[in-house]
């Protein structure tokens, strides 16, 4: 195992610098990298900070950035590992475990600040979307950044279940959480706890649990096929359009909550889940 990690770090299949097209300053003066995708037109445009899975910044997240840009958003796919990326699960786990969490947080904050200042971006309409590791980082970003206009959490581990720990989440914009019913790494009880914490704080939100799928079910490949991935992507696009393209956030806040699965049958919850079958 150690040999695989060392070999992949010395001879990686791809390098972050081969995928990125912008650099910006980190909090400690480090040179951070990202991939910036722009829509047609001069703007000002809404913007999305996009955070990768635990593999690091790779071609899959670049494709997602381009898809979002085609919908009218300036998108920054930010590198949270300072140049490290992999296609191997053992090294991905190693990167998550060994990269300092406070440095990841400060680098995500730096990426958000950079995106706000990009020419053609409307700084009051900047949201964030993250997948897996990135979903966790978007959740954490929401707790400390009151300027976040929308937060989309795709199966981020460790859902926050303590209302007090949500910090400033929802101060400006709502939260969308998307999870898989068969995700072995995120128990449905934790998803339900996150939803209850959001409710307790009065944070506008929608938590969706898609039946029959596990962790990391939304990829550039799965988006090409009808099914849960396309449905979840469409839910995200509708959420972003509503909250970053000028519609009143009150509309989302007043909308019925989306389906949430629970280990026990809370009234109205499992029936909403079954509607997605």
Check whether 167 has a pLDDT greater than 80. Answer: yes
Provide the CATH number for the domain around residue 7: 3.40.50.1820
- What local confidence, expressed as pLDDT, does residue 246 receive? 73
State how many domains the chain has. 1
More confidently predicted of 6 and 35: 35
Encode pLDDT of 91-120 as tens digits. Answer: 999 999 999 999 999 999 999 999 999 999
Element (H, E) at 261: none
- What local confidence, expressed as pLDDT, does residue 6 receive? 52
- What local confidence, expressed as pLDDT, does residue 276 receive? 34
More confidently predicted of 121 and 261: 121
Angle of CA points 35, 36, 40, to nearest 5°? 145
- What local confidence, expressed as pLDDT, does residue 247 receive? 52
CA distance 141 to 128: 9
Average pLDDT over all residues of the chain: 88
Check whether 257 has a pLDDT greater than 90. Answer: no
Element (H, E) at 51: strand 45-51
Cβ atoms of 84 and 244 closer than 8 Å: no
Check whether 241 has a pLDDT greater than 50. Answer: yes
Check whether 183 has a pLDDT greater than 80. Answer: yes
End-to-end Cα spacing for the chain: 40
Check whether 271 has a pLDDT greater than 50. Answer: no
Encode pLDDT of 190-240 as tens digits. Answer: 999 999 999 999 999 999 999 999 999 999 999 999 999 999 999 999 999
Cβ atoms of 74 and 43 closer than 8 Å: yes
- What local confidence, expressed as pLDDT, does residue 10 receive? 52
Element (H, E) at 40: none
- What local confidence, expressed as pLDDT, does residue 3 receive? 61
- What local confidence, expressed as pLDDT, does residue 15 receive? 86
Q: Read out DSSP for 166-227? A: GTTTTSSS-EEEEEETT-TTS-HHHHHHHHHHHHHHT--EEEEEETT--TT---TTGGGSSS
Domain that holds residue 136: 2-274
What are the counts of helices (DSSP H) followed by strands (DSSP E) for the chain? 10, 8
- What local confidence, expressed as pLDDT, does residue 160 receive? 98
Check whether 274 has a pLDDT greater than 60. Answer: no
pTM for the model: 0.87
Q: What percent of the chain has pLDDT over 70?
A: 84
CA distance 190 to 139: 14
Check whether 180 has a pLDDT greater than 90. Answer: yes
> What mean pLDDT is predicted for residues 123-147?
98
- What local confidence, expressed as pLDDT, does residue 68 receive? 98
Encode pLDDT of 59-94 as tens digits. Answer: 999 999 999 999 999 999 999 999 999 999 999 999
- What local confidence, expressed as pLDDT, does residue 264 receive? 27
């Amino acid at each position: 195992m150690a040999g695989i990690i060392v070999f992949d770090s010395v001879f990686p299949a791809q390098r972050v610098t081969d995928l990125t097209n912008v650099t910006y300053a980190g909090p400690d003066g480090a040179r951070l990298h990202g991939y910036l995708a722009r829509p047609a037109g001069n703007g000002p445009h809404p913007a999305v900070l996009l955070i990768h899975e635990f593999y690091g910044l790779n071609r899959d997240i670049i494709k997602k950035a381009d898809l979002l840009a085609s919908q009218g958003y300036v998108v920054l796919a930010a590198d949270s590992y300072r140049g490290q990326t992999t296609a191997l699960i053992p090294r991905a786990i190693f990167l998550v475990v060994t990269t300092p969490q406070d440095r990841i947080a400060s680098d995500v904050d730096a990426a958000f600040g950079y995106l706000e200042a990009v020419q053609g971006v409307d700084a009051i309409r900047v949201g964030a979307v993250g997948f897996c590791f990135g979903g966790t980082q978007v959740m954490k970003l929401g707790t400390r950044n009151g300027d976040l206009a929308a937060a989309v959490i795709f199966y981020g581990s460790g859902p926050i279940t303590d209302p007090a720990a949500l910090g400033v989440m929802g101060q400006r914009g709502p939260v969308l959480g998307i999870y898989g019913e068969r995700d072995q790494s995120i128990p449905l009880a934790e998803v339900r706890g996150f939803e209850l914490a959001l409710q307790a704080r009065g944070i506008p939100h929608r938590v969706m649990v898609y039946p029959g799928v596990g962790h990391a079910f939304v990829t550039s490949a799965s988006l090409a096929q009808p099914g849960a991935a396309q449905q979840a992507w469409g839910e995200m696009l509708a959420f972003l359009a509503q909250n970053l393209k000028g519609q009143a956030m009150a509309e989302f806040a007043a909308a019925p909550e989306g389906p949430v699965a629970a280990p026990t049958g809370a009234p109205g919850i499992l029936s909403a889940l079954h509607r997605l079958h």
